[in-house]
Structure 1
Amino acid sequence: MLRTVATGLAVAVLIGGAAFAETFEVRMLNKGTDGERMVFEPAFIEAQPGDTIRFVAADKGHNAEINAGMAPAGAEAFKGKINEEIEITLEIEGVYGVICKPHFAMGMVMTIAVGDATVPEGFLEGRVPPKAKARFEAQLASL
């Protein structure tokens, strides 16, 4: 028996009652429900290997891409085009730092933790604008 169960923004495909994979929808917005400007919503996701993340450009002018040096070793980088939906499946456990390139300096970032993830040493080293760094730190506090 195959059935789909929707919970919030995540969809799980169930086979015989056991979860197989989830698809998380992330909206790229000019203004979030909390009033913050230039956001991914949700800004933090805990996923499992094999889960899919779908980035939806709910407002124009956004993209989603891995920030350099903010992905687990061996993970495939991704870079969506401006105003286009992108869907990725994450197979490697670890922490992924995602940015909207045009609004990175304005703090448009999100974190995806896959599997039994911990914050890797030096994750926030390098060129990270102050507002983006503050948002990453708040998201990483969820781990």
Structure 2
Amino acid sequence: MFKYAMATAALALMATTAAAETFEVELLNRGEAGVMVFQPDFIEAQPGDTIRFVPTDKGHNVESIGGMLPDGVEAFKSDYNTEFELQVDAEGVYGVKCTPHYGMGMVALIQVGEAGNLADAKDQKQPGKAAKHFDALFAQVK
């Protein structure tokens, strides 16, 4: 009986892991939406998924934006020109930026499950073109 329960638990864990998805986001000097962009800049993910940020062009990094993370999620910041993986476990919206190009609008939004912190994320003041870009990203949240 114990062996059966352990085997069932292992299969359930493997099924959960197998269902997790990995999304790839390129960090570009020029993309489909213009200059200094994350491509794609909006991702709809589920808890357990991974977002892989790939600095296709040099001079970019990924950093969380204060006030734009679900409760309990720690702030993060990658090194420049380094691939970075973020496993998203908590539901909500995650606001990210490229530190040197933030004011130029190089931002992205990740929605994981229900967007419970959307109102708080929208309340965060954004510099320059990032504010307009986030308006368009927030409009995609379901």
Q: TM-score range by the shorter chain?
A: 0.7 to 0.9
CA deviation profile, 1:5-63 (whole Å, cap 9, x unmatched) = xxxxxxxxxx78x96100000000000124x1000000000000000000000000000
Three-state SS of the structure 1 residue aligned to 2:131 is helix
2:76 match: 78
> Does residue 28 of structure 2 align to residue 29 of structure 1?
yes
Distance 1:124 1:115 in 2: 17
Stretches of 4+ aligned residues off by more than 6 angstroms: none
Percent identical residues: 53
Amino acid at match of 1:94: G
Structure 1 residue runs of 5 or longer lacking an equivalent are 1-14
Normalised to the residue count of structure 1, the TM-score between the two structures is 0.82
More strand by share: 1
CA RMSD of aligned residues (A): 1.8
Structure 2 residue runs of 5 or longer lacking an equivalent are 1-13
Matches within 5 A, 1:40-55: 40-55=38-53
Residue-pair matches, total:
127
Answer whether contact 1:25 1:55 (CA < 8 A) is retained: yes
Distance 1:32 1:119 in 2: 29
Normalised to the residue count of structure 2, the TM-score between the two structures is 0.83
Using the TM superposition, give the Cα deviation of residue 118 of structure 1 relative to its aligned residue in structure 2, in angstroms: 4.9
Amino acid at match of 2:52: R
Distance 2:122 2:103 in 1: 14
Task: Name which structure has the greater RCO, CA cutoff 8 Å, separation 6+.
Answer: 2
Matches within 5 A, 1:1-143: 20-34=19-33, 36-118=34-116, 120-143=118-141
More helix by share: 2
